[in-house]
């Protein structure tokens, strides 16, 4: 069947519609519909990835309309990979969400699933589309749904965090749209491939320069690159955990994908690294983002907030790698899209399990957690090692490429920042481990009965299995990073 590219995006959309309708009849019906919708999407994404690996880029025309008039989905190795990541994580998260959604949003589960599916549809669309304006529309779909989701969360602080998010999000989208407008003015086209063709002749144009800068700022706001990150920590930590688990790993990573797409496909390396010569400045910006994110994470007292700032730090990794101007850096950035999505997902899954049992996750609430929730903590520890960059977890291997790229470009400051951020992450996570491992106020030599046996109170099995599998996948992804780089990333960059 040739319609897999459309199915990836269309099934979650249809499922959203039906899940919303079904909730009118019976609240419980919406969950299986959502599950089926995403399962089809994952399967299609897998098929498409295999097809792209085997026979190259797929151009899919919506309803048969030819570009530049019609909307084209153009799926190459890069977005085939991101599509699979997005649909896969969304699907796994749905499995883990069954219990926690019921707990957190009690009577609103139906609307939760509807919005969730629309959000995922938006992300998948952003990734698949080959059209600049279409991209804007889909970004807005993801954004609007996430505003709603954040507002669904924490009763007290959710609405304010959401409002904040709306303001900044709208500004970001406007920047992007304005940039697209300038580009349309200059080229008269919105199809990415078409625009790229036209642009290659007019590199000196100042209109193009303005368009590029506006679009980049818009994208950076949406991806929360420091210092444009201020909306992220509150939005992520006050939304329902079932949503935080999917928005944290996916939203920023998809925006990194969009940035890389603009750099490689639309504007082209020559334009960015030869004509503009901005890479030095941006790599410095990324360096600061890495350090600032890590340092801000240090001062957090809430686990969710801490992880949110780690995301800000990791964004710096990917921006720095992408702007390094060499193949190694770009390889690192793309590999880190996959790895960081997996690691963040694993961390938030573990946090989700904790929230399910403990309700809130201020660091001091976590005492004795190794005894109480050993499996959850095992998953958390693995994910933390991956963030720190301990081999053989996948976080090590993307860091490897990023540092190698920095050496090749002579950007030693970026390499130093990566090392320092690893050290800070080690401090951060061991601070958490200490709280979970040591007993408060205990004195003297711990023998026999002075240690009371803690009863195990774990999260539901469905959540544990997903969290365990994703954490193990960090090691698998790490061991097979060679394969991933050789079959997906390097062929894409050539």
Partner 1 sequence: METIISIKPLLAVLVSLFVIPVLISSSNKPNVRESWIFVAGIIKFILVLSMLPVILSGKQIALTLFEFAPGAAIAFRVDGLGMLFAIVAASLYIVTSIYSIGYMRGLNEHGQTRFVCFFALAISATIGAAFSANLLTLYLFYEILSLATYPLVAHHQDEKSRISGRRYLTFILGTSIALVLPAMIYCYHVTGTLEFSTAGIFAGQLSKPAATVLLLMFVFGFAKAGIMPFHSWLPAAMVAPTPVSALLHAVAVVKVGVFSIVRVMTGIFGVDLLANFNLGVVVMCIASVTILVGSCIALSQDELKRRLAYSTISQLSYIIFGVALLSPQGQLGGVIHIAMHAFGKITLFFCAGAIFVATGKKYISQMSGLGKKMPFTFAAFFVGAMGVIGLPPTGGFYSKWNLILGTLEADQTIFMLVLLVSSFLNAFYFLPIVYKGFFGKSEEENDDTPVKIQEANLCLVIPLIITAIISIVLFFYPTVFVNLIKVGLGI
Between 156 and 443, whose beta carbon lies closer to partner 1?
A: 443
Query: Please, what is the minimum distance in Å from the beta carbon of residue 137 to partner 1?
Result: 40
In the complex, least distance from residue 426 CB atom to partner 1, rounded to whole angstroms = 6
The span from the CA of 467 to the CA of 474, in Å, is 11
Name which of 268 and 391 has its Cβ closer to partner 1. 391
Q: How far is the CB of 391 from partner 1 (least distance, A)?
A: 4
User: Smallest distance, Å, CB 89 to partner 1?
Assistant: 24
Closest to partner 1 by CB, 232 or 485:
485
Q: How far is the CB of 63 from partner 1 (least distance, A)?
A: 43
The residue among 91 and 375 lying less far from partner 1, judged by its C-beta, is 375
Q: Smallest distance, Å, CB 59 to partner 1?
A: 32
DSSP structure string for 199-262:
HTT-TT-HHHHHHHHHHHHHHHHHHT-TTS-TTHHHHHHHS-HHHHHHHHHHHHHHHHHHHHHI
Q: Which is nearer to partner 1, 65 or 412 (CB)?
A: 412
* Distance, CA of 241 to CA of 199 (rounded, Å): 43
CA 47: distance to chain centroid? 22
Other Cβ atoms less than 10 A from the Cβ of 434: the count is 11
Question: Closest Cα partner for 241 from 129, 330, 352?
Answer: 352
Q: How far is the CB of 402 from partner 1 (least distance, A)?
A: 10
Q: How far apart, in whole angstroms, are the C-alpha atoms of residue 288 and residue 291?
A: 5
List interacting residues with partner 1 (CB under 8 A): 385, 388-392, 397, 400, 403-404, 407-408, 415-416, 419, 422-423, 426, 430, 434, 437-439, 442-448, 450-451, 479-482, 485
**Pick 45 or 402: Cβ nearer partner 1:** 402
CB of 269: closest distance to partner 1 in angstroms?
22
Closest approach of partner 1 to the CB of residue 418, in Å = 9
Torsion of CA 253, 256, 260, 262, to 10 degrees: 120
Q: Which of 150, 356, 318, 176 is nearest to 247 (CA)?
A: 150
What Cα–Cα distance (Å) separates residue 337 from each residue in 81, 202, 317, 345?
A: 10, 31, 10, 12
Q: C-alpha distances in angstroms, 231 versus 71, 93, 135, 281, 443?
A: 32, 23, 22, 24, 43
Which lies closer to partner 1 via its Cβ, residue 9 or residue 435? 435
Phi-psi region of 443 (alpha: psi -120 to 50; beta: other; left: phi over 0): beta
Looking at the Cβ atoms of 2 and 443, the one nearer to partner 1 is: 443
Q: How far is Cα 47 from Cα 1, in angstroms, rounded to an integer?
A: 10
Nearer CB in complex with partner 1: 155/442:
442
């Amino acid at each position: 069947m040739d319609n897999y590219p459309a199915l990836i995006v269309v099934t979650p959309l249809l499922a959203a519609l039906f899940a919303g309708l079904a909730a009118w009849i019976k609240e419980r019906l919406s969950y299986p519909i959502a599950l089926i919708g995403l399962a089809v999407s994952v399967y299609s994404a897998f098929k498409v990835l295999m097809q792209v690996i085997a026979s190259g880029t797929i151009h899919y025309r919506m309803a048969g309309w030819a570009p530049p008039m019609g909307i084209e989905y153009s799926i190459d190795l890069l977005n085939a990979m991101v599509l699979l990541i997005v649909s896969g994580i969304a699907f796994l998260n749905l499995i883990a969400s069954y219990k926690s959604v019921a707990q957190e949003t009690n009577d609103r589960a139906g609307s939760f699933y509807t919005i969730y599916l629309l959000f995922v549809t938006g992300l998948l669309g952003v990734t698949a589309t080959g059209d600049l304006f279409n991209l804007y529309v889909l970004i807005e779909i993801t954004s609007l749904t996430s505003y709603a989701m954040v507002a669904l969360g924490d009763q007290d602080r959710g609405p304010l965090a959401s409002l904040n998010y709306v303001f900044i999000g709208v500004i970001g989208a406007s920047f992007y749209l304005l940039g697209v407008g300038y580009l349309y003015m200059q080229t008269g086209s919105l199809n990415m491939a078409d625009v790229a063709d036209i642009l290659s002749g007019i590199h000196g144009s100042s209109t193009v320069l303005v368009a590029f800068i506006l679009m980049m700022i818009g994208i950076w706001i949406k991806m929360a690159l420091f210092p444009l990150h201020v909306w992220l920590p509150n939005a992520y930590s006050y939304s329902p955990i079932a949503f935080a688990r999917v928005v944290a790993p996916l939203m920023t990573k998809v925006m990194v994908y969009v940035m890389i797409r603009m750099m490689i496909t639309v504007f082209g390396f020559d334009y960015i690294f030869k004509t503009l010569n901005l890479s030095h400045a941006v790599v410095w910006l990324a360096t600061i983002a890495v350090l600032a994110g890590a340092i801000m994470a240090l001062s957090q007292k809430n686990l969710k907030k801490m992880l949110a700032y780690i995301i800000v730090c990791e964004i710096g990794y990917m921006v720095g790698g992408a702007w390094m101007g060499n193949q190694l850096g770009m390889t690192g950035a793309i590999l880190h899209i996959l790895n960081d999505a997996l690691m963040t997902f694993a961390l938030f899954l573990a946090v989700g399990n904790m929230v399910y049992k403990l309700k809130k996750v201020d660091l001091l609430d976590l005492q004795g957690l190794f005894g109480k929730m050993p499996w959850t903590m095992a998953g958390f520890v693995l994910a933390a090692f991956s963030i720190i960059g301990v081999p053989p977890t996948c976080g090590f291997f993307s860091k490897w490429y990023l540092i190698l790229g920095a050496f090749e470009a002579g950007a030693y400051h970026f390499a130093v920042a990566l090392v320092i951020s690893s050290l800070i992450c080690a401090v951060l996570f061991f601070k958490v481990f200490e709280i979970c491992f040591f007993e408060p106020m205990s004195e003297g030599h711990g023998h026999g009965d002075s240690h009371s046996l803690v009863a195990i109170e774990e999260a539901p099995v469905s959540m544990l299995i997903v969290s365990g599998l994703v954490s193990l996948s960090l090691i698998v992804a790490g061991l097979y990073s060679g394969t991933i780089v050789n079959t997906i990333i390097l062929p894409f960059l050539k």
